[in-house]
Chains A and B, each alone.
Chain A
Amino acid sequence: DAGITQSPRHKVTETGTPVTLRCHQTENHRYMYWYRQDPGHGLRLIHYSYGVKDTDKGEVSDGYSVSRSKTEDFLLTLESATSSQTSVYFCAISESTSGKSYEQYFGPGTRLTVT
Protein backbone atom coordinates (compact mmCIF):
# COMPACT_ATOMS: atom_id res chain seq x y z
CA ASP A 1 0.00 0.00 0.00
CA ALA A 2 1.14 3.49 -0.82
CA GLY A 3 2.23 5.43 2.25
CA ILE A 4 -0.52 8.01 2.49
CA THR A 5 -2.08 9.19 5.71
CA GLN A 6 -4.80 11.74 6.32
CA SER A 7 -5.56 13.61 9.49
CA PRO A 8 -7.91 13.93 11.14
CA ARG A 9 -9.94 10.91 10.06
CA HIS A 10 -13.16 12.37 11.42
CA LYS A 11 -14.10 15.92 12.29
CA VAL A 12 -17.26 17.74 13.28
CA THR A 13 -17.14 21.51 13.07
CA GLU A 14 -19.53 24.42 13.14
CA THR A 15 -20.52 26.63 10.24
CA GLY A 16 -18.16 29.55 9.79
CA THR A 17 -15.13 27.99 11.43
CA PRO A 18 -11.86 27.37 9.57
CA VAL A 19 -10.79 23.77 9.04
CA THR A 20 -7.52 22.31 7.79
CA LEU A 21 -7.12 18.75 6.59
CA ARG A 22 -3.68 17.24 6.21
CA CYS A 23 -2.36 14.71 3.75
CA HIS A 24 1.06 13.17 4.31
CA GLN A 25 2.90 10.84 1.93
CA THR A 26 6.10 8.85 2.31
CA GLU A 27 6.41 7.92 -1.39
CA ASN A 28 8.11 11.11 -2.61
CA HIS A 29 5.54 11.38 -5.41
CA ARG A 30 5.38 14.63 -7.30
CA TYR A 31 1.63 14.96 -7.75
CA MET A 32 -0.91 15.29 -4.94
CA TYR A 33 -4.67 15.77 -5.15
CA TRP A 34 -7.66 16.53 -2.98
CA TYR A 35 -11.06 15.07 -3.88
CA ARG A 36 -14.44 15.08 -2.22
CA GLN A 37 -16.90 12.23 -2.46
CA ASP A 38 -20.63 12.86 -2.31
CA PRO A 39 -23.60 10.61 -3.11
CA GLY A 40 -24.55 10.87 -6.77
CA HIS A 41 -21.35 12.68 -7.70
CA GLY A 42 -18.54 10.16 -7.42
CA LEU A 43 -15.21 11.80 -6.64
CA ARG A 44 -14.65 15.38 -7.67
CA LEU A 45 -11.29 17.12 -7.81
CA ILE A 46 -10.92 20.13 -5.52
CA HIS A 47 -7.28 21.16 -5.96
CA TYR A 48 -4.07 19.50 -7.01
CA SER A 49 -0.34 20.06 -6.77
CA TYR A 50 2.37 19.28 -9.30
CA GLY A 51 5.26 20.20 -7.04
CA VAL A 52 6.26 22.13 -3.95
CA LYS A 53 4.43 25.47 -3.97
CA ASP A 54 2.84 24.58 -7.34
CA THR A 55 -0.92 24.15 -7.08
CA ASP A 56 -3.96 24.59 -9.27
CA LYS A 57 -7.73 24.47 -9.07
CA GLY A 58 -9.89 21.52 -9.83
CA GLU A 59 -13.54 21.13 -10.64
CA VAL A 60 -15.00 22.23 -7.28
CA SER A 61 -12.44 24.62 -5.79
CA ASP A 62 -14.74 27.39 -4.51
CA GLY A 63 -14.43 27.77 -0.73
CA TYR A 64 -11.19 25.77 -0.54
CA SER A 65 -7.51 26.64 -0.55
CA VAL A 66 -4.41 24.46 -0.49
CA SER A 67 -0.76 24.69 0.34
CA ARG A 68 2.25 22.50 -0.27
CA SER A 69 5.44 23.66 1.40
CA LYS A 70 7.09 20.22 1.43
CA THR A 71 6.92 17.30 -1.00
CA GLU A 72 5.32 15.08 1.59
CA ASP A 73 2.54 17.35 2.86
CA PHE A 74 -0.52 18.77 1.13
CA LEU A 75 -2.97 20.80 3.20
CA LEU A 76 -6.58 21.55 2.36
CA THR A 77 -8.18 24.52 4.13
CA LEU A 78 -11.82 25.46 4.35
CA GLU A 79 -11.58 29.13 5.26
CA SER A 80 -15.14 29.32 6.58
CA ALA A 81 -16.87 25.96 6.62
CA THR A 82 -20.42 25.64 5.26
CA SER A 83 -22.90 22.77 5.50
CA SER A 84 -22.43 22.11 1.77
CA GLN A 85 -18.85 21.13 2.55
CA THR A 86 -19.98 18.18 4.64
CA SER A 87 -18.38 15.34 2.74
CA VAL A 88 -15.71 12.67 2.71
CA TYR A 89 -12.37 14.07 1.58
CA PHE A 90 -9.72 11.95 -0.07
CA CYS A 91 -6.12 12.75 -0.77
CA ALA A 92 -4.32 11.01 -3.62
CA ILE A 93 -0.79 10.87 -5.00
CA SER A 94 0.80 9.84 -8.27
CA GLU A 95 4.25 9.52 -9.76
CA SER A 96 5.46 11.74 -12.51
CA THR A 97 7.04 9.04 -14.65
CA SER A 98 5.39 8.47 -17.98
CA GLY A 99 3.05 5.50 -18.15
CA LYS A 100 2.43 5.45 -14.45
CA SER A 101 1.53 9.02 -13.78
CA TYR A 102 -2.17 8.53 -14.40
CA GLU A 103 -2.49 5.97 -11.63
CA GLN A 104 -3.39 7.68 -8.40
CA TYR A 105 -3.20 6.11 -4.96
CA PHE A 106 -5.63 7.24 -2.33
CA GLY A 107 -5.50 7.86 1.37
CA PRO A 108 -8.10 6.48 3.81
CA GLY A 109 -10.26 9.62 3.76
CA THR A 110 -11.47 12.24 6.23
CA ARG A 111 -15.13 12.42 7.09
CA LEU A 112 -16.04 16.06 7.74
CA THR A 113 -19.38 17.15 9.14
CA VAL A 114 -20.27 20.85 9.25
CA THR A 115 -23.18 21.58 11.58
Chain B
Amino acid sequence: DQQVKQNSPSLSVQEGRISILNCDYTNSMFDYFLWYKKYPAEGPTFLISISSIKDKNEDGRFTVFLNKSAKHLSLHIVPSQPGDSAVYFCAASYTGTASKLTFGTGTRLQVTL
Protein backbone atom coordinates (compact mmCIF):
# COMPACT_ATOMS: atom_id res chain seq x y z
CA ASP B 1 0.00 0.00 0.00
CA GLN B 2 1.59 3.24 -1.18
CA GLN B 3 1.27 5.68 1.73
CA VAL B 4 2.90 8.53 -0.20
CA LYS B 5 1.80 9.03 -3.78
CA GLN B 6 3.07 11.14 -6.60
CA ASN B 7 0.57 10.58 -9.35
CA SER B 8 2.38 12.51 -12.07
CA PRO B 9 5.41 10.57 -13.30
CA SER B 10 6.59 13.50 -15.38
CA LEU B 11 6.13 17.22 -15.88
CA SER B 12 7.45 19.60 -18.53
CA VAL B 13 7.63 23.35 -17.87
CA GLN B 14 9.12 26.25 -19.78
CA GLU B 15 12.02 28.14 -18.28
CA GLY B 16 10.84 31.08 -16.20
CA ARG B 17 7.41 29.58 -15.53
CA ILE B 18 6.15 28.01 -12.33
CA SER B 19 6.60 24.29 -11.71
CA ILE B 20 4.09 22.65 -9.39
CA LEU B 21 4.77 19.13 -8.15
CA ASN B 22 2.11 17.34 -6.17
CA CYS B 23 2.11 14.69 -3.48
CA ASP B 24 -0.69 12.92 -1.60
CA TYR B 25 -0.45 10.83 1.54
CA THR B 26 -2.77 8.45 3.31
CA ASN B 27 -1.24 8.02 6.78
CA SER B 28 -2.64 10.70 9.10
CA MET B 29 0.22 10.08 11.55
CA PHE B 30 2.74 11.72 9.24
CA ASP B 31 3.82 15.02 10.77
CA TYR B 32 6.87 15.99 8.76
CA PHE B 33 7.23 16.21 5.01
CA LEU B 34 10.27 16.65 2.81
CA TRP B 35 11.15 17.13 -0.82
CA TYR B 36 14.27 15.68 -2.39
CA LYS B 37 15.80 16.33 -5.76
CA LYS B 38 17.74 13.66 -7.64
CA TYR B 39 19.99 13.92 -10.65
CA PRO B 40 20.95 10.77 -12.60
CA ALA B 41 23.77 8.72 -11.06
CA GLU B 42 23.71 10.80 -7.86
CA GLY B 43 22.09 10.41 -4.45
CA PRO B 44 18.97 12.40 -3.58
CA THR B 45 19.63 15.84 -2.11
CA PHE B 46 17.42 17.47 0.49
CA LEU B 47 15.53 20.45 -0.86
CA ILE B 48 12.93 21.73 1.58
CA SER B 49 10.72 20.45 4.40
CA ILE B 50 7.60 21.36 6.32
CA SER B 51 6.21 20.42 9.69
CA SER B 52 2.53 19.59 10.06
CA ILE B 53 2.09 22.61 12.33
CA LYS B 54 2.69 24.86 9.34
CA ASP B 55 0.92 25.20 6.01
CA LYS B 56 3.71 26.88 4.08
CA ASN B 57 7.48 26.98 4.03
CA GLU B 58 9.57 29.03 1.66
CA ASP B 59 13.23 28.89 0.72
CA GLY B 60 14.27 31.07 -2.17
CA ARG B 61 12.61 29.86 -5.35
CA PHE B 62 11.11 26.85 -3.58
CA THR B 63 7.88 26.85 -1.58
CA VAL B 64 6.12 23.87 -0.07
CA PHE B 65 2.43 24.02 0.77
CA LEU B 66 0.70 21.58 3.09
CA ASN B 67 -3.05 20.94 3.20
CA LYS B 68 -3.58 18.56 6.10
CA SER B 69 -7.31 18.18 5.63
CA ALA B 70 -6.77 17.01 2.07
CA LYS B 71 -3.58 15.10 2.95
CA HIS B 72 -1.87 16.89 0.12
CA LEU B 73 1.34 18.82 -0.32
CA SER B 74 2.85 20.60 -3.25
CA LEU B 75 6.23 22.02 -4.22
CA HIS B 76 6.30 25.25 -6.19
CA ILE B 77 9.41 26.31 -8.06
CA VAL B 78 9.38 29.90 -9.28
CA PRO B 79 10.92 30.73 -11.66
CA SER B 80 11.89 27.36 -13.09
CA GLN B 81 15.42 27.02 -14.45
CA PRO B 82 16.98 24.37 -16.70
CA GLY B 83 19.12 23.20 -13.76
CA ASP B 84 15.92 22.24 -11.95
CA SER B 85 15.44 19.37 -14.39
CA ALA B 86 15.62 16.29 -12.16
CA VAL B 87 13.46 13.73 -10.41
CA TYR B 88 11.69 15.09 -7.33
CA PHE B 89 10.69 12.81 -4.48
CA CYS B 90 8.19 13.63 -1.78
CA ALA B 91 8.82 11.94 1.59
CA ALA B 92 7.03 11.78 4.93
CA SER B 93 7.85 10.80 8.48
CA TYR B 94 6.29 10.88 11.92
CA THR B 95 7.45 11.34 15.48
CA GLY B 96 8.95 8.36 17.19
CA THR B 97 9.99 6.46 14.08
CA ALA B 98 13.75 7.16 14.23
CA SER B 99 13.23 9.59 11.37
CA LYS B 100 12.33 6.83 8.93
CA LEU B 101 11.12 8.28 5.67
CA THR B 102 8.42 6.95 3.39
CA PHE B 103 9.00 8.09 -0.18
CA GLY B 104 6.74 8.65 -3.13
CA THR B 105 7.62 7.23 -6.54
CA GLY B 106 8.96 10.51 -7.89
CA THR B 107 8.11 13.06 -10.58
CA ARG B 108 10.55 13.78 -13.38
CA LEU B 109 10.64 17.52 -14.07
CA GLN B 110 11.97 18.81 -17.36
CA VAL B 111 12.48 22.53 -17.73
CA THR B 112 12.67 23.52 -21.36
CA LEU B 113 14.24 26.58 -22.90
B is a partner of A: yes
Partner of B104, one of A42, A102, A105: A42
Contacts of B42 in A (CB 8 A): 108-109
Interface-lining segment among A44-52, A61-69, A79-87:
A44-52
Tell whether, in the assembled complex, residue B106 and residue A103 are in contact, meaning their CB atoms are under 8 Å apart: no
Q: How large is the interface on B (under 10, 10 to 19, 20 to 34, 35 or more residues)?
A: 20 to 34
Contact partners of A105 in chain B: CB under 8 A: 46
Which residues 21-49 in B have Cβ within 8 Å of A in the complex? Answer: 32, 34, 36, 41-46, 49
A42-B106, A109-B43 as given contacts; A58 in contact with B34, CB under 8 Å? no
CB < 8 Å: which of B46, B93, B98, B102 contacts A56? B98
Q: Do most interface residues of chain A lie in helix, strand or loop, or is the interface mixed? A: strand
Which residues of the other chain, A, contact B36 by a CB distance below 8 angstroms?
A: 106
Q: Which residue of the partner chain, among B6, B41, B46, B101, contacts A45 with CB atoms under 8 Å?
A: B101
Judging by beta carbons under 8 Å apart, are B105 and A41 in contact? Answer: yes
Contact present for B44 and A43 (CB under 8 Å): yes
Looking across the interface, which residue of chain B has its beta carbon closest to that of A44?
Answer: B103
CA distance A26 to B78 in the complex (A): 35
Q: Is the CB of B98 within 8 A of A90?
A: no
Considering the complex, give the chain B residue whose CB is closest to the CB of A39: B105
Given A102-B93, A109-B43, is A42 in contact with B105 using a C-beta cutoff of 8 Å?
Answer: yes
Complex interface residues of chain A between 27 and 63 (CB less than 8 A to chain B): 31, 33, 35, 40-45, 48, 50, 56, 58-59
Range, interface on chain A? 20 to 34
Q: Is the CB of A40 within 8 A of B46?
A: no
- Output the nearest chain B residue to A6 by Cβ-Cβ distance: B43
- B94 CB, min distance to chain A CBs, angstroms: 9
| Distance A56 CA – B98 CA, assembled complex (angstroms) | 10
Q: Interface of A with B (CB < 8 Å)?
A: 4, 31, 33, 35, 40-45, 48, 50, 56, 58-59, 90, 92, 94, 101-109
Complex A-B: 24 CB contacts under 8 Å: A31-B98, A31-B99, A33-B101, A35-B103, A40-B105, A42-B4, A42-B104, A42-B105, A43-B44, A43-B91, A43-B101, A48-B98, A59-B102, A92-B43, A94-B99, A101-B99, A103-B46, A104-B46, A104-B99, A106-B43, A106-B44, A108-B41, A108-B42, A109-B41
